[in-house]
Structure 1
Amino acid sequence: MTDGKLGWLHERLGTVVLWALLIGFESAGQIATKVGGDQLGQMDFSLKWLMAVAVTPGVWLAIACYIAAFFVWMLILRRSQVSQAFPLSSLVFVGVLLGSWLGLGEPISVLHWVGVAVIMGGIALLAEGEDT
């Protein structure tokens, strides 16, 4: 391979890795927020609740995931136009759906799976129109 082809491959591979990280961090952040909320239980909003939030592991994991996702998103936007990148971020819906099903044991209806297919189809259509 020539240096030009290797550079293109390296850039594409790097972009795919960044997208995988973004989807992973964003999805994990959503699921960790759910877990953190469950860990808190049924408490009214109060100073006691805020103190409990501050020591809840699920909340801290969610915060860490969102911070990581923010920095990955910045790296993605350095490589992409926001008009192309933002629609692709809808893959997070798919990640959250799969994570809640596999990790939390939540039931997923046929309609949800149809929604996943629609999202994937929309992303395929967007990718088809992408300038190369």
Structure 2
Amino acid sequence: MHHDFDPNDDLGPDVELAEAFAHFNPEHQNPNYWLRFRRWILENAKGELARRRLMHELTVGDVMTSWAKTVVPVVLLAAVVAGLLLTRDQSAVPVQPMGIEELLVSEVEGQIIPAALAPSETSDAVAFASEVF
């Protein structure tokens, strides 16, 4: 093991503490412990590391294929619900088409658009824009 300490430090390494903790070091009884531990960790992580390497090489098509298991059923469910909503009885709720001005001023308090665009209160550019558009 590598000990990080400053050799120029006045205190230096605590020899008594190092000797006391030496019994907790697995390498104290088994000299090759840390090498075997590292090998064991890497062997067990090999599958996960390989999976992560493969994930890096995935394309958009691969990701979409993996998502298909969840996306396709959700899309089918949404299509069925939309179909049911479209085929239900439409006569129950009459739809009144609204004009653009009605949409713009509905539930708006204050001056409405035709009053705001009155020719007496606007400049020529605004009046031109209101007539053209």
User: Which one scores higher on RCO, CA 8 angstroms, separation ≥ 6?
Assistant: 1
The two structures share one fold, judged by TM-score above 0.5:
no
Which protein is bigger by CA-based radius of gyration? 2
